[in-house]
Structure 1
């Protein structure tokens, strides 16, 4: 027992927000939670099926450094990630079994790949099929890295871009297909990672102060409600959380 207590892992960081998909969900459809094109972060790092794109990440790093120019070099980015390594690791539910050098290398390649893809999409230099595949992989919970480190390297690389879009604007544009509520980037809005951004996209628009409409969530399944005499209709809203129940009729986006 003493040995077990001595080998206890430290408590989870308050930043922890990147998890493995629970087994009971994963077993229903494993492919739904597994990246198809690119591994981002440590959970699927080294997957042999994704090695082709991992090799392309190195080319993207070279393109990114050329885009940055002579103001910064590779060591500047490595040093920044190294300083924040502990905080980055704290975002993950489990201890990441990678050496410091391998972890920093993975984060550097993944961040630069993301930034290059976002830039190329904004410049209309990314093929539709690749963009579609990447967005699906980028929103998977197990395929995440903290947004703050992406933002940190972006700000380090491009400190003065007065006439260019911000990282959050570029990111929202990249994921526009999922932005059903037409979410507008808000200064200082904290985004944990891309899956969290997808969650934000699904939130209903702010209610007017004068509005008396309240969010309604069912306590029973659709089958139970239908058996009780409730009818269902498709609402005009595209928000999955915009639910309404009135006069025996339940309205939702689907």
Structure 2
């Protein structure tokens, strides 16, 4: 290469280096990786509304822009701030907001601030509108809440990873319209408890978020965590994950004992009727493969519904009894789970509670018979239509995901495998299933045993008398 050409290349590269923006430590809103998106594109795509810059301006979402303007108008009626003052508040947070997105946002400052203000006020009005809807004071001209299909689609779009605004920005806007009054007891460490509580209630209702405990208990846990670790909620997807975290999180004591957490899924989804293939394991303390729910049930394990006041990850096991909180499966669940998993895959190196939960359910469910075991145990409430849909859901959710360096439920899988490997437990279960499944069957079994013993005794005495 000629010297002049080398200089041109160096100059070109230096220019690119000079234009390279520094990576932000506050990045928390990502594009879903292509390998996850291609499994189910619709699950990550907004249906009716764009929130933030990643889907802004897409043609099929333009119709909602007029609703955003009307909701901005409602927002301004609630607050004493002028529109110009609201714009100034967002302008001061522009850089912070931009830094939250992994993708560089090619929008002017004017366009970006206008978009954030419209989208942020829209979200605030949706959350506040939900409160009014519960009090039967909904405005008759509200085109979103008066159309049940539309508000459900809006709530679904608000749970997409690519459709998020920074939570801190939403809190700033909410502070402009927050109702007056003191914070509840023990909530002084968290500045905007009312908005956090309203958000959890909103998603619990519209997204059928599987949270059995009260919203107040969840918020109290979040508040304590925020005050002790200075780790704030990043956005709605992060909030939904935090709401499902176990009450007393404990991890596997020796994560170095294994290199693989779960088998890496492939694009070929398992057929519901196909047997689970054994996977090579580098695990020394616990087995990578877990028997299915049917196998465990036949091996003596009882499946019971966990306490009503439990989160999704509050799974317990002891003495052959596996307790799992109830999960209501509806059409929105696949999109919800996929976006929660996508955020864990993009953001957290170790804390992947939702991925851990789905991996356990994937191991338990391989056929429709396995779903029957969980439905009969009260663990799954199936609104998807049939058990095949449930099987396909859990067998496909982890396709193309990467395992974490530790596994929250390793102690449970280890205990289940140890129990199942004891032959006596399987024999006892077979006896109960085949001969003592009902009082009548048990009585007839006992009668048959007694008759057999009497016959044996009679035979012995007959032989002795002949001699």
Normalised-by-shorter TM-score class: 0.7 to 0.9
Structure number with greater CO (CA < 8 Å, separation at least 6) is 1
Q: CA deviation at 1:148?
A: 0.5
* Per-residue Cα deviation, 1:174-208 (whole angstroms, up to 9, x for no partner): 1123151544324474211000011012112237x
Residue 136 (str. 1) matches residue 156 (str. 2): yes
- Residue in 2 aligned with 1:231? 296
Instruction: Render the CA deviation track for 1:121-140: whole Å, top value 9, x for unaligned.
Output: 10113344333222211111
Distance 2:113 2:102 in 1: 18
Contact residue 230 and residue 250 of structure 1 kept, 8 A: no
**What is the count of residue pairs matched by the alignment?**
244
1:6-17 matches, cutoff 5 A: 6-8=15-17, 9-17=20-28
Cα distance in 2 for residues equivalent to 1:5 and 1:240: 51
2:416 maps to none
Secondary structure of 1:19 counterpart: coil
Q: CA-to-partner distance for each residue in 1:124-182, whole Å, 9 max, x for gaps?
A: 13344333222211111000010101111111344x61179721122122112315154
| Residue from 175, 195, 199 that aligns with 1:167 | 195
2:126 matched to 1:117? Answer: yes
Q: In proportion to residue count, which structure has more helix?
A: 2
1:76 to 76, 85, 96: 85
Cα contact 1:121–1:131 (8 A) shared by 2: no
Alpha-carbon deviation of 1:241? 2.8
Q: Contact between 1:178 and 1:201, CA under 8 Å: does it hold in 2?
A: no
CA positional deviation for 1:11: 2.9
Distance 1:12 1:183 in 2: 36
Q: Structure 2 vs 1, CA of residues 15 and 26 (structure 1 numbering), >3 Å: closer, same or farther? A: same
- TM-score w.r.t. the length of structure 1 is 0.83
Q: Which blocks of at least 5 consecutive residues in structure 1 are unaligned?
A: 208-213
> Structure 2 vs 1, CA of residues 112 and 157 (structure 1 numbering), >3 Å: closer, same or farther?
same
1:178 lines up with 2:187 in the alignment: no
CA RMSD of aligned residues (A): 3.0
Where 2:52 maps in the other structure, the secondary structure is: coil
Q: Distance in 2 between matches of 1:215 and 1:251?
A: 18
Distance 1:220 1:41 in 2: 34
Distance, in Å, in 1 between the alignment partners of 2:104 and 2:87 is 21
User: In the superposition, relative to structure 1, how do residues 234 and 248 fare at CA in structure 2: closer, same or farther (>3 Å)?
Assistant: closer
Residue 244 of structure 1: how far off its partner (Å): 4.4
Which of these residues, 27, 44, 56, is aligned with residue 67 of structure 2?
A: 56
Q: Does 1:27 align with 2:38?
A: yes
CA separation in 1, counterparts of 2:262 and 2:242?
25
- Alignment-derived partner of residue 211 in structure 1: none
Q: Which has the higher Rg, Structure 1 or Structure 2?
A: 2
Determine the C-alpha separation between the residues in 2 that align with 1:183 and 1:230: 36
Distance 2:168 2:16 in 1: 30
Measure, in 1, the Cα distance between the counterparts of 2:40 and 2:124: 30
Alpha-carbon distance change, 61 to 234 in structure 1, aligned in 2, over 3 angstroms: farther
1:191 to 233, 243, 248: 233
Give the structure 2 partner of residue 210 of structure 1.
none
Which ranges of structure 2 fall in alignment gaps of 5 or more residues?
Answer: 1-8, 139-144, 184-192, 227-231, 264-274, 277-288, 326-360, 362-467
Aligned to 1:123, what secondary structure does the other structure show?
A: helix
Whether contact under 8 Å (1:231, 1:250) holds in the other structure is no
Question: Could you say which residue in structure 2 is the equivalent of 1:42?
Answer: 53
1:146 aligns with 2:159: no
Partner of 1:241: 313
Q: Distance in 1 between matches of 2:110 and 2:123?
A: 20
How far residue 4 of structure 1 moved from its aligned partner, in angstroms, is 3.2
